Chain A
Amino acid sequence: MQAEQQENQRPPKNNEMDSEGTDLDSAVAVQLIVRSKRHPISGPGSAALESWVSVSSSDTLTPSPEGTACSSSQHTQPYVATTEGWREDTSAPTSTAPGVFTPGLCSSMAATRSQMLTQDGEPSVAGMVRQRKPQTQLLDLPNEVLFYILGFLEVCDLLATSRTSHHLRTLSLTPYIHKTRLRRTRALLPPLLTSPSRPSRPDLVRRCIVLTHTAFASRKLAHNLASIRLARQLAARPSAETLVERCVLPRECLPGGGGGVASALVARKRAVEKERVKDRLRGWVGSVWKGEVGRREEGVRLREERAGVGRVWRLRRFWEGVGRGEVTTAGEGGGI
């Protein structure tokens, strides 16, 4: 087809043609609509027939833009697109839309596709049905749709998709996608860099994230001063011997000094000694307490009983008397 050759030569021309193409489209569309009104589509056979009729008529009726748009999509469909030029053709909706618009042409496109896929000589309804797989898969989508989807992905995702299958590999490694990705990033970065949420340099200095030269120098000076002061104070410390004498340190901490225990175990040794003393004291206190206190308690009870002191004791005696019937009601008040 002649239009097809034009197509391959230079993609940009499509855009020029679009503006005038719309009018031509509409003219054709009217005719086709009228046609479809006149012959309503009723059965399988007539649909296929109609599509062929409209193809032949559209070839004579329409100038290049129609044929261009439609034939381009029809031919690129089964193949993998590799050139950037191709993408520019089909990506702009305005260039594809008018072509796809006219019904007759597009059913012809579908018919041709089924013809190509099923290798049938005649485009038949059976062919179209056979072409349909039980389930639509992602790879059945037109390349332009896949392209659009891939355009949203980042490098790592594109790398992953490129490893899934031949078709996706060709698509996701297309230079066009990566060019647009880079272009997008270039457009995306500057506003981010200049955004108001990005803290300014003085702000960063204030938060001690960025150090100015003076801040750096003063910090270094402060470090030096601190180290000098520490060194002096360390030198002025009293010796271990003096500390032992003042009972600040245990004798075991001295290098040569005593008890035959490692200095790390001194604290533990002290604790064990203390515990042992405590145990002995506890045992002594326990025995003393039990004997002495038990005896004293007994003495108190006996004396109270003898002397009749204590409210509880008297009450108990009274009620015991009542129980025995010894105490009269008159004597009750005096009893209590």
Chain B
Amino acid sequence: MATNQSLKLQNTFRPNGRVFEVERSAAEHSAVVRMLLEDFDEPDLLVTIIPISIDTSDDTLAKVFEWATHHKNMPKPALDDDGDRDEVVTIQLASWDDEFFSDIDSETLYGILIATNYLDIKPLYDMAVQVVVNMVRGKSTKQIREILGITSDFTAEEEAAIRKETAWAYDGEEVPNETS
């Protein structure tokens, strides 16, 4: 099977989505696309525009496909591998991936999460998740709110109740007034 065929994918979530031309081996990172290709391996499919519908910008998708194209020769996990969470390994980012993630903003990062979750691109999804996890790990509540841009929707009473509930966990953290 020739691997340098191109597939055309279009994001149809919003009208006039960009049509991406992706190499077949790169697009096969997506388990969704791979399943599609396995099921109908016809020349017909290669000229059709494959519609995908993801709530992300075209730029984000471009990023995803950029990653996929760079890693097109990476072995892809088996389709029935549904990722047993019992053995979680912390992923070490290779230098290229590190750079890839260092110059994307958080919005694109979230977009990548949504897109890879939809397209089922396991390696990139795991890496993006890992990046978010590293953003959160070891931070205080206030820091997490700042980093992730979360506004507290607790009322003062709820906040107090939560604090009381887990008072033992507040050692060394500055006291209240976050909500006011």
Interface residues in chain A, defined as those with a beta carbon under 8 Å from any beta carbon in chain B: 22, 26, 29-30, 33, 36-37, 40-41, 43-44, 47, 92-94, 97-98, 100-101, 103, 106-107, 110, 125, 128-129, 132, 135-142, 144-145, 148-149, 151-154, 156-157, 159-169, 180, 183-184, 187-188
Contact A47 B12 (CB under 8 A): yes
How far is it, in angstroms, between the C-alpha of A107 and the C-alpha of B53 when the chains are bound?
Answer: 6
The segment from B63-71, B93-101, B151-159 found at the interface with A is B151-159
- B contact residues, range: 35 or more
Closest beta carbon of chain A to B148's beta carbon, Å: 4
By beta carbon, the residue of chain B nearest A27 is: B39
Instruction: Give the A-B contact count at a CB cut-off of 8 A.
Output: 151
Contact of A41 among B12, B45, B141 (CB under 8 A): B12
Interfacial chain A residues near B49, Cβ < 8 Å:
36-37, 40
How far is it, in angstroms, between the C-alpha of A144 and the C-alpha of B154 when the chains are bound?
Answer: 23
B75 close to A (CB within 8 Å):
no
Interfacial chain A residues near B129, Cβ < 8 Å:
145, 148-149, 152
How far is it, in angstroms, between the C-alpha of A160 and the C-alpha of B142 when the chains are bound?
Answer: 8
Interfacial chain B residues near A187, Cβ < 8 Å:
86-87
By beta carbon, the residue of chain A nearest B85 is: A180
Contact A157 B153 (CB under 8 A): no
Interface residues in chain B, defined as those with a beta carbon under 8 Å from any beta carbon in chain A: 10, 12-16, 31-32, 35-36, 39-40, 45, 48-53, 55-56, 80, 82-83, 85-88, 106-107, 110-111, 113-114, 117-118, 120, 129-130, 132-133, 136-141, 144-145, 148-154, 162, 166, 169
Say whether, besides A110-B13, A137-B149, A183-B86, A145 and B139 are in contact (CB < 8 Å).
no
Contact A97 B31 (CB under 8 A): yes
Contact B139 A160 (CB under 8 A): yes
Say whether, besides A41-B15, A101-B32, A145 and B136 are in contact (CB < 8 Å).
no
Closest beta carbon of chain A to B157's beta carbon, Å: 13
Contact of B114 among A141, A149, A167 (CB under 8 A): A141
Contact of B133 among A125, A140, A149, A163 (CB under 8 A): A149
